[in-house]
Amino acid sequence: MGKALQHMGHLLVEVGIAAPETSANVNEAATALMQQGNKTAWTYQLDLARPIIFAPTQHPKHGIIHPRIGAHISVKEGKDAHPPFEVLKLSLEITNNAGERIQRWHIDRANIASQQYQEGPLYHLQIGGHWRGGDRSVEADIEEPRWCHPPLDVVLLAEVVAANFYPKEWRVLHAKGTWCSLVQGSQKLCFTDYVKKMSNLMNVGQSTALREMWAETWAAPVQNKK
């Protein structure tokens, strides 16, 4: 995964989607990851102080905007029919040219405290969250709902950002076989067990897909089902 991160950073900068300082930030995380030397259990962080920094881009309402991605991901591959994430904290922050906060999203594995999961799907997409810098006054007034969503890693979220905010450069990126190979590797990591879960839920007669993917249900036996 360390080499995949390095290739991702290089390609994003090469086609003009990411700012040049992204390479150093990603290489730092990738080097720390490769030093772990474990192919089935590993962790990496891209702190929002040293994130994936995207190139400034024009937005019709907000003018020049600045997206950035931060992540804390810990993986332990096993055979428990779950996506292999022990920690999944992935965030996208967007500011304007004056540094003012515009929007923030995050994709998480549900938090747990005192053996109790927060209400929501085990893997979810949510607006808001804690902005870097600790200023809670700028957070969304209502952060729910937590949308049922497959887990993503930094490669997959970077593709989402590229496709939405840099469509011309994204098409150039897609012409490079290396990028598609990186994305396919991340899709396998993130989607394989999630897709199996969804497929199996088509045959659930006494429940619903959302109920079965709710944190307390899917994550059992950490907590008994209600």
CB 13 within 8 A of CB 184: no
pLDDT tens digits, one per residue of 11-46: 999 999 999 999 999 999 999 898 988 778 999 999
Q: What percent of the chain has pLDDT over 70?
A: 89
CA distance 46 to 128: 19
Q: Tabulate helix, strand, coil % of the chain (nearest 5).
A: 35, 25, 35
Q: What are the backbone angles phi and psi of residue 129, rounded to the nearest 5°?
A: 100, -175
Spell out the domain ranges in the chain: 2-218
Residue 72 buriedness (CB in 10 A; 0-12 / 13-18 / 19+): middle
pLDDT tens digits, one per residue of 175-217: 988 999 999 999 999 999 999 999 888 876 778 889 999 999 9
CB 107 within 8 A of CB 151: yes
Give the model's confidence band at 112: pLDDT under 50 very low, under 70 low, under 90 confident, else very high.
confident
Can you tell me whether residue 202 is helix, strand or coil?
coil
- Please determine, for residue 113, whether its predicted confidence score (pLDDT) is greater than 80: yes
Rounded (10°) angle between helices 21-34 and 2-14 = 170
Mean pLDDT of the chain: 88
Residue type at 111 in one-letter notation? N
Three-state SS annotation for 102-126: EEEEEEEECCEECCEECCCECEEEE
pLDDT tens digits, one per residue of 55-92: 999 999 999 999 999 999 999 987 677 899 999 999 99
CB 169 within 8 A of CB 57: no
